[in-house]
Structures are given as C-alpha cells and as structure tokens.
C-alpha cells in the first residue's frame, strides 16, 4: 500500500506524534482485554460508559466487536488468546430446543460463572445472527494463519460447525438460498427496517459457509477413513454457496446499466412467462438519488430485496465484506471502489465512514424505526459515521491490490490517496474525541449524541487501518474454495 503523503519537512515531527498516538491506542486496547476462566479471553465493547442506574452491556465481550480485536491479536502473534476466545464462544453455542446452534451476542464472567446473552437481555430482545456467522470465519482465519490444523479438526470445532449448518441451511417456504432474519439482528441492532434478507447477513452467510467448507474439508482430509456425514455435507454446502452467490449477484448488484434495464421492464407479470421483473418492482419506486450516486461506472450491492420494495440504501459493511469474501468479482469490486470515490463527500466526509446512506427522515423515520430516539436522521445507525468501519474497506482494497496490482493503476492511486486522507482524519480526530463510538450529522463532524468513549472497535479499527495501509494484509489465509470459478478472481 502507499507511503505516507505527509510532506517530508514535517514528517519526523509528525511521525513522532503518530508513534505516540499508536502507543497510547495500543495501551487503551490492552485495558479492554479481560480474563475469563483465568486467561485473557477478549475485549469489552468500551472502557468508558455510564453504568450507574443502567444495565448497559458495553462491559461485556461482544462477538462482533471482537472480530477486529482477534485479527489484530493474530497479527501480534497472540495466538493463545484468540484460541481461548474461540473455545469460549464454542462452549456457549446454544443447545436449547429453539436456538440450537446459535452463538451468543456477548458474554461475561460473573462470580465464576459464564453468562451469555442470546438476545434475552438486549433492548427489543433480539438475537444477533451475525455473531453466529462470524464464528466459523474467525475460526478459519485463526486455523489457517496459525496453521493450527489440529484445532481445526478438533471434534468440538467440527461439532460446532455441524450444529451451525443445521441452523442456517434450512429449507424455507421461499425456496431461496438466503437466510431470513428479523429487524436488528446484526451490527445494526435497533429498528432500521433491515428485516428479511439484509445484505450484511447474506454476505456473512456466504463467508460463513465458505469457511465451514474449509473446516470440513480439513477434517475430511485428516480423517483415517472419510466420514459419510462430511461426504454428504460438503457438496451440499458448496451448492448452497454457489446458489447464494448467484442470487445475490443477480438481485442485489446494481449499476447505472442494470437500473436502466429495470426501469423499462414490464410489471405485473403472472404465471409462467419468463420472469423479467421477478420482484414486480415499479419504475416509480426506483429513487432519483441513484442517478448521481451510481454515476457512469459505479456499482454496489443494495441493502435488501423484497417483493415490490427493494431497499436501495447503501450499507458500508455488507459491501466491504462482499469484496473481502470474494463474493464480488474483481471488476465489480473496482466498480464499488469507483462508487466510494465518487461519493466520498457522503461516505467519508469529516469522519470515515458512514454506516448507511441515505438516512431515513421525517415520516419514513417515524414509521420504519418506530420513532427510535437513537436512530434519528443522521445519527447512530441511521446515517451516522462509524470510524470502526474504515478498516474493512481498507482490507478490501488491500486484498484486491494483492491479487490484481495492475488492474487499474489510476483507480488504485486515487483510492490510496483517499484512504490515506481518511487515516489522517482518524489520526487527528479520534484521540481528541476520546475514541468515540460514532459521529453524527451530514458530515459526521459531531461526536455521536449518545456515543460511548474509548470504544474498543474504534481503537482497534484505527490500528488495523494503519497496519493495512502500511504493510498490506499480512494474514495468511484464503477464503477461495478449490475449483471455484470466480470468487477472489
Ligand atoms: C451497539 C451497536 C452494536 C455493538 C454494541 C457494542 O449496540 O449497535 O453493533 O456491537 O453496541 O459495541
């Protein structure tokens, strides 16, 4: 990745200051790590939050918030800690009748007992589906980076994978390869009209199933005699992955061209006619803002697909993960990067990056969020800016760059300049704003109205952004499946 763009004269003073900030970020991060069963096990969500009189759960170990933490720790060689985290999560996988296979949103040790939240203690009592999908992904990254094949083949790991597959690869009334979930079931855990098949969940499902196949193939390879269960499950999971990817690319991927085709398609089609407009989308429902947003050569995956009412909002995390997991082809990834460059005044503005665009306002906000006071327009999940999201995009660019260094040199140069500028914003703003959780307003200048300070994934996201920009992706793993026709290609 690119070198610093700071002018040489001021570089030594600037880099001294930068070094200090990095050291203090690392020290803050160390303070977030807590012990469970006598060993360091993961990070709490934030160091500072008002706890008096409120049972806020920022003092717990959230699975999703620990994704960047574990990646950072792997890069630091702290393998035992990551393994302990994976084992604890596995021990907490639900075996209850109605949630069998589900991993918890968060956990904590209280008076020697492990206490987990599967949704029963959260506002709105919603289970996080993303936590379960992240576990095999992290497990595969750990196993392949550390080359701990023994852990990958461990009976406990293999059983956890099977239980999870039982939960997510179910026949459904819709007969589609997507996973249906309620509103609030992932990072966006307050009402935001993201029920059904929201992008982030479907992309995570794609990454999760790929990692499950890797783990199953690993065990099959090391088995003295091939297991019958695995011989059946591996091809079925591969087929599901294939169908899911085709479905997402067909229905979620949009460019200026696909929108123009969609606008002129027939509507109200019954019966066996060749379906040109399967979801019966009326041309008037396609929002005007897409024209400038997509420009000529941009593309992205929309937020959700449902009959008559697709969700055209742009969700940053789902799109970045679609690059990282190789769901988007390399040319599609470049179209996405062009879209980010074109819309950088919205997506980056004064605090990279906005979580979703555009926000819901007025009557729409009232109806679709139930007048949620935290998700008001331009705040929190509803158009707020989350510094913790930047590293995912930087990772996507780093992986693309590694595989296709000469694909579009001009685009790569522009991207590197943009990402370096974003990093410099974080460097100057985050320590000053006490590593706030999120930022508000159309430019993301204001510290989030209810933002926690010393938020763990803000701190570790900053460290990962810097690491990826300076050294590229030094993790030793691949999501690509053997005999895969596209993926990261
Ligand atoms: C908030 C966020 C959620 C995060 C949690 C802990 O609930 O919406 O995504 O995991 O805080 O940081």
Alpha-carbon gap, residue 60 to 244, rounded angstroms: 33
pLDDT at residue 18, as a whole number: 97
Query: Is residue 484 one of the residues assigned to a domain?
Result: no
Tens-binned pLDDT, residue by residue, of the chain (489 aa): 444 555 565 667 779 999 999 999 999 999 999 999 999 999 999 997 665 555 578 999 999 999 999 999 999 999 999 999 999 999 999 999 999 999 999 999 999 999 999 988 777 788 899 999 999 999 999 999 999 999 999 999 999 999 999 999 999 998 999 999 999 999 999 999 999 999 999 999 999 999 999 999 999 999 888 899 999 999 999 999 999 999 999 999 999 999 999 999 989 888 876 768 889 999 999 999 999 999 999 999 999 999 999 999 999 999 999 999 999 999 999 999 999 999 999 999 999 999 999 999 999 999 999 999 999 999 999 999 999 999 999 999 999 999 999 999 999 999 999 999 999 999 999 999 999 999 999 999 999 999 999 999 999 999 999 999 999 999 999 999 997 644 443
Query: Is residue 60 one of the residues assigned to a domain?
Result: no
Query: Is residue 98 one of the residues assigned to a domain?
Result: no
For residue 203, report the distance from its CA to the centre of ligand 1, in Å.
19
- Nearest Cα residue to atom 3 of ligand 1: 187
pLDDT at residue 274, as a whole number: 72
Query: Is residue 68 one of the residues assigned to a domain?
Result: no
| Number of the ligand 1 atom closest to the C-alpha atom of 381 | 8
In the chain, the number of structural domains is: 1
Query: Is residue 479 one of the residues assigned to a domain?
Result: no
Q: Are 341 and 429 in contact (CB under 8 A)?
A: no
The strand order across the sheet containing 311-315 reads 253-255, 299-304, 311-315, 356-357
Please, which residues bridge with residue 460 across strands?
none
Query: Is residue 121 one of the residues assigned to a domain?
Result: no
Q: Which distant-in-sequence residues (6+ apart) come within 8 Å of 161 by Cβ?
A: 136, 212, 215, 216
Instruction: Confirm whether pTM is higher than 0.75.
Output: yes
For residue 389, report the distance from its CA to the centre of ligand 1, in Å.
13
pLDDT at residue 122, as a whole number: 76
Query: Is residue 445 one of the residues assigned to a domain?
Result: yes
Q: Among candidates 449, 281, 463, which has minimal Cα distance to 388?
A: 463
Mutate to test the pocket of ligand 1, among 44, 57, 64, 103 (most ligand atoms within 8 A of CB): 64
For residue 64, report the distance from its CA to the centre of ligand 1, in Å.
8
Q: Are 460 and 68 in contact (CB under 8 A)?
A: yes
Which domain range does residue 197 map to?
A: 129-263+281-471
For residue 343, report the distance from its CA to the centre of ligand 1, in Å.
26
Ligand 1 contact, 18 CB (< 6 A): no
**From the CB of residue 40, how many other CB atoms can be counted at a distance below 10 Å?**
16
Considering Cα of 204, then 127, then 390, then 90, what sign does the dihedral take?
A: negative
pLDDT at residue 489, as a whole number: 34
Output the domain CATH number for residue 464: 1.50.10.10
Alpha-carbon gap, residue 368 to 309, rounded angstroms: 13
Ligand 1 contact, 138 CB (< 6 A): no
């Amino acid at each position: 990745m690119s070198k610093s763009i700071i002018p040489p004269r001021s570089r030594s003073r600037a880099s001294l200051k930068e070094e200090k900030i990095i050291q203090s970020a690392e020290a803050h991060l160390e303070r977030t790590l807590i012990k469970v069963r006598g060993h360091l096990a993961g990070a709490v969500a934030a160091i500072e939050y008002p706890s008096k009189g409120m049972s806020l759960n920022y003092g717990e170990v959230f699975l999703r918030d620990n994704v960047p933490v574990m990646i950072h720790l792997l890069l630091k060689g702290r393998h035992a800690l990551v393994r302990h985290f994976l084992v604890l999560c596995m021990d907490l996988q639900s075996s209850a009748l109605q949630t069998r296979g589900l991993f918890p949103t968060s956990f904590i040790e209280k008076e020697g007992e492990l206490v987990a939240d599967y949704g029963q203690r959260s506002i709105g009592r919603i289970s996080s589906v993303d936590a379960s999908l992240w576990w095999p992904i992290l497990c595969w990254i750990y196993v392949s980076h550390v080359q701990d094949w023994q852990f990958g083949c461990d009976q406990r790991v293999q059983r956890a994978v099977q239980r999870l597959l039982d939960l997510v690869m179910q026949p459904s009334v819709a007969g589609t390869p997507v996973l249906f979930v309620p509103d609030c079931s992932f990072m966006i855990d307050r009402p935001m009209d993201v029920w059904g098949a929201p992008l982030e969940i479907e992309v995570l499902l794609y990454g999760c199933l790929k990692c499950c196949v890797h783990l199953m193939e690993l065990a099959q390879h090391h088995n003295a005699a091939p297991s019958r269960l695995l011989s059946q499950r591996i091809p079925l999971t591969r087929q599901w992955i294939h169908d899911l990817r085709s479905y997402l690319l067909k229905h979620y991927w949009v460019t200026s061209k696909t929108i123009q085709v969609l606008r002129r398609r027939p509507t109200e089609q019954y019966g066996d006619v060749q379906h040109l407009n399967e979801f019966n989308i009326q041309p008037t429902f396609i929002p005007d803002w897409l024209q400038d947003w997509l420009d000529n050569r941009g593309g992205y995956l929309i937020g959700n697909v449902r009959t008559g009412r697709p969700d055209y909002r742009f969700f940053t995390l789902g799109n970045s993960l679609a690059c990282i997991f190789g769901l988007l082809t390399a040319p599609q990834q470049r179209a996405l990067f062009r879209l980010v460059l074109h819309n950088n005044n919205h997506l980056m503005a004064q605090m990279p990056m906005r979580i979703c665009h555009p926000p819901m306002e007025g009557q729409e906000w009232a109806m679709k969020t139930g007048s949620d006071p935290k998700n008001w327009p331009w705040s929190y999940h509803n158009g707020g800016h989350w510094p913790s999201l930047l590293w995912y995009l930087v990772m996507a660019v780093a992986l693309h760059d590694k595989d296709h260094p000469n694909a579009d040199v001009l685009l790569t140069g522009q991207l590197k300049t943009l990402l370096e500028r974003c990093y410099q914003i974080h460097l100057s703003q985050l320590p000053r704003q006490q590593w706030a959780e999120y930022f508000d307003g159309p430019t993301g200048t204001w510290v989030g109205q209810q933002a926690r300070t010393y938020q763990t994934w803000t701190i570790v996201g900053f460290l990962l952004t810097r690491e990826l920009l300076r050294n590229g992706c030094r993790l030793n793993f691949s999501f690509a499946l053997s005999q895969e026709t596209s993926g990261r290609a």
